[in-house]
Amino acid sequence: MRRVLPLAALASALLVIGGCSLIVSAAKEGALSVTGREGWDSFNLTGELPPEFGVEATVWYGPITPSASCETDNVYTAKKMPRSHAKSFEQAFDPQAQTFNFKVPLKYSLGLCAMEIGRVDMKIRGRYGVMDWQKTYDDAGLRFVNILPAGSPDFDEYGRLEITGKCEWWFQDSRLIRQLSKILNCKGAGAYLQIDQLAGKTVKFKIEVNPEETPYRDKTWIKFPNGWKPCLPKVGWQRCQTPPLFKTFQMNGQTCTIYPGCTE
């Protein structure tokens, strides 16, 4: 007579088998990680940051040629997926204007898997106060291709490429925080680069900040010669009433009527 394994026991057995597979996979990855090595070629990622700014950069590498050596287990689906590698850089906030300089390898190898740079994801970080919620960021980055899209910037005769990110602060009367908060918005902080033209080159990010701040939402604040005043919205709407009725807001523990000066 054939025995039938109870459903609960079968599920437990499958969990054990799955767990063992994950453990074996993790052990293999751990052993493989010690073989990781960076390539000789690199480029310099540099930049200029305004006061109270910092930057984070994550460099992503992917297989040059698809192969079994460049596959790893997806822990969620138990299927194979292309291997990847990430390398992180960071320049902390500083009250003063500062520069940064990261030496970025173009290739990375893990075991028999040769990988090359695919992208750099960056966060341009700014802060406008001492509280954690007074820190924010906007995205920037680089994408690496074999052929540059039309109109892409190129390196000068000295092997340098400058990218200017133009940032500005948007302010709002935050319902969540119940304080005046700000959002950082940056444009132009990115580029496509050709992989085989990168070795020994320098990519420089120059971050500029517009000294004039503006509201996050149009027609929610009204500008006066001495600053911006928030107004009450229409019923069921975000924009100011007509004629406008003004309101107070909280900023750094004070009740204010106008920004940036708080009191008129």
Residue with tokens 């909280």, as numbered in its chain: 250
Helix or strand holding residue 28 (H, E):
helix 7-33
Question: DSSP letter string over 148-200?
Answer: PPTT-----TTSEEEEEEEEEEEEEEETTTTEEEEEEEEES-EEEEEGGG-TT
Provide the mean pLDDT of the chain: 89
Find residue 224's DSSP bridge partners. 227
How high is the pLDDT of residue 238? 82
At 256 the three-state DSSP class reads strand
Q: What's the CA gap between 107 and 39, in Å, rounded?
A: 5
- Enumerate the domain spans of the chain: 37-212, 221-256
How high is the pLDDT of residue 78? 74
Q: What's the CA gap between 251 and 262, in Å, rounded?
A: 8
Q: What's the CA gap between 55 and 10, in Å, rounded?
A: 51
pLDDT below 50 — which residues of the chain?
1-2, 4-5, 10-11, 13-18, 20-22, 24
pLDDT tens, 174-183? 988 899 999 9
Find residue 259's DSSP bridge partners. 228
